[in-house]
Amino acid sequence: MAKKSLETLTESMFYVLLALSQGDKCGTEITDFICNLTRQRVKIGPATLYTILGKFEHEHIICEIAVEGRKRTYTLSDKGQHLLQMEIRRLELCLADVKALF
C-alpha cells in the first residue's frame, strides 16, 4: 500500500513545524530555534531546510508571508497546525508504549 504524503514526519520536519508554531520565522530563525531548543542535538543544514520548506509550502502546510531580498518569512497554516498536533499525538502514543514496557 502506498504511504500517504506526510503521514509520518521526519525529525527535521517535526522541528520545523514546532519552530513555526512559536511564530513567523525565516530560515535562519528556524535553524537557530531548533539548535537552541535541542541544545545542538538537531542541526538542519540549508539544503534540508529549504527542501522541507518547499515541500511544506507546496502542500499548503506553511505560507510564505514576506520577502526581503533573499530573506523569506514563513507562517504555519491551519493545516500545518493540525499536522503538528497529529504528530505530537503520535509521538505521545509511541512514548506511552515505551513506558508500558519499562
In the chain the domains, ranked by start, together with CATH numbers, are 11-101 (1.10.10.10)
Question: How large is the average pLDDT for residues 49-56?
Answer: 98
Is pLDDT of 95 > 90?
yes
Angle CA(8)–CA(9)–CA(14) in degrees, nearest 5? 145
Please say whether the beta carbons of 9 and 87 come within 8 A: yes
Question: How large is the average pLDDT for residues 23-35?
Answer: 98
Is pLDDT of 28 > 70?
yes
In the block, which residue shows the cell 515541500? 55
**In 1-77, which residue ranges form alpha helices assigned H by DSSP?**
11-21, 27-37, 46-58
Question: How large is the average pLDDT for residues 46-70?
Answer: 97
Give which of 10, 25, 11 is closest to 75, Cα–Cα.
Answer: 25
pLDDT confidence of residue 1: 44
68 three-state secondary structure: strand
pLDDT confidence of residue 5: 65
The model's pTM is: 0.92
